[in-house]
């Protein structure tokens, strides 16, 4: 299966985790939707990292487990900035998103997709062949 499709499947998993944790925090615990999104995204990023390391980007590992997870989170920070900006804009200016914050999560997820794929493919999970050519 092509890598990008597998990455998108991981994104769907991440969306479900993100939206579910956000819903629990906001509706179940009364948390602020902007702050809660920081926690839900961290949970989602961890879920997508687990998927991507085992399915999308299989192979030789360049980093230890914890080091890879930290690099993945760092790599996702660019996508998160785009993702969070879209989320906050939709949540703030689109009234239905305040009832269904999952709509804002979906907008953010789509907005950050390309940034996250590129940073994963070319930094975290690049093959040794690509590393040698780049140097």
Q: Residues 108-120: pLDDT tens digits? A: 998 888 788 887 7
What single DSSP character describes residue 100?
-
List the chain residues with pLDDT less than 50: 130-132, 135
Whole-number Å distance between alpha carbons of 116 and 6: 13
Whole-number Å distance between alpha carbons of 102 and 97: 7
Q: For residue 19, what are the contacts with CB-CB under 8 A and spacing of at least 6? A: 40, 101, 102, 105, 106
Q: What pLDDT shows up at residue 93? A: 97
């Amino acid at each position: 299966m092509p890598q990008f499709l597998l990455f998108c499947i991981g994104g769907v998993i991440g969306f479900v985790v993100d939206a579910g944790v956000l819903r629990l925090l906001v509706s179940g615990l009364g948390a602020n939707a902007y702050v809660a999104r920081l926690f839900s995204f961290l949970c989602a990023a961890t879920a997508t990292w687990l998927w991507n390391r085992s399915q999308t980007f299989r192979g030789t590992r360049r980093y230890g487990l914890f080091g890879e997870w930290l690099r993945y989170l760092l790599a996702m920070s660019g996508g998160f900035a785009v993702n969070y900006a879209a989320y906050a804009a939709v949540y703030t200016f689109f009234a239905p998103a305040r009832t269904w914050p999952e709509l804002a999560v979906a907008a953010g997820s789509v907005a950050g997709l390309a940034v996250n794929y590129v940073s994963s493919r070319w930094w975290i999970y690049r093959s040794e062949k690509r590393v040698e050519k780049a140097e």
